[in-house]
Structure 1
Amino acid sequence: MFKGFREFIARGNVLDLAVAVIIGAAFATITTSLTEDIIMPLISAITGGIDFSNKFLLLGSVPAGYAGSPTDYEALKKAGAVVLGWGKFVTTVINFLILAFIIYQLVRAATRVQLRKDAEPAATPEEVVLLREIRDSLKTRA
């Protein structure tokens, strides 16, 4: 049982996948920070101070006994109010678009490198070169 598992894990593509998942998770964290800490504050400054992370639509009434602010999305959500958090959704969509664009650029660059590699002529095997030399030598003797 362990032998088969060890062979499965030792395959190159499984290890590559594991590395890709770990790097992808770290990259997603960086992209989230880029969106939340840089892009959204810039958008907020351009739009006159709108904080998208706290934009929501209250779909029901405020729960009984709720003493917090009626404009605090997280507190209302914690209290059990039915809220539609469209601001967080906008932030998440922007985060996705950034991540998708970067992945697109990486795949595009990798494709270009692969095309260049495929376009290079393969080296002629040594035997073929030797046979051509013999052929040319025989042609000059005749």
Structure 2
Amino acid sequence: MIKELKEFLFKANVLDLAVAVVMGAAFNAIITSLVEDVITPLFLNPALKAAGVAKIADLSWNGVAYGSFLSAVINFLIVGTTLFFVVKAANAATALSKKGKDEEETEAAPTQEELLTEIRDLLKEK
């Protein structure tokens, strides 16, 4: 049972997932700080002052605290946009890598006709 647990825990997929979760948590902290410490003060402060609140989390209407929700939506949009561009760049890099490998394989492996032509030319020389 311990052997099976070891095999499960140290499979590449599990380790990749663990790294992804840790990186995602760190990325989330960065985006949250970006929204709360940079975007809100720079762009939303005039709207917050007009609403009479100091922080976006304090926004509410009839007891509904929509400020936290608004902050979460901004976080989501930034994370989603960032991930879109990261995945797009990764796909482009993968496509370039695949194209390069395909070209190498094409150059390395002669076609059947080329091989037959070489055999014919060798037989003519004899």
| Secondary structure of residue in 1 paired with 2:36 | helix
- When normalised by structure 2's length, the TM-score is 0.77
CA–CA distance in structure 1, aligned partners of residues 121 and 46 of structure 2 = 78
CA offset digits 1:78-124 (Å, max 9, x no partner): xxxxx311111111100110011111111000000111111121331
Instruction: Choose from 118, 132, 138 the match for 2:98.
Output: 118
Instruction: Choose from 39, 58, 74 the match for 1:94.
Output: 74
- When normalised by structure 1's length, the TM-score is 0.69
CA–CA distance in structure 2, aligned partners of residues 92 and 45 of structure 1 = 17
Q: In the alignment, what sits opposite 1:41?
A: 41
CA RMSD of aligned residues (A): 2.6
CA–CA distance in structure 1, aligned partners of residues 120 and 27 of structure 2 = 58
- Identity across matched positions, percent: 33
User: Gaps spanning 5+ residues in structure 2: where?
Assistant: none
Instruction: Choose from 81, 84, 89 the match for 1:104.
Output: 84
CA offset digits 1:6-25 (Å, max 9, x no partner): 00111111100000000100
Report the AA paired with residue 78 of structure 2: I
Q: In the alignment, what sits opposite 1:52?
A: 56
CA–CA distance in structure 1, aligned partners of residues 120 and 90 of structure 2 = 41
Count of residues paired in the alignment: 115
Q: Name the larger-Rg structure.
A: 1
CA–CA distance in structure 2, aligned partners of residues 139 and 57 of structure 1 = 91
Question: RCO (CA 8 Å, sep 6+): is it higher in 1 or 2?
Answer: 1
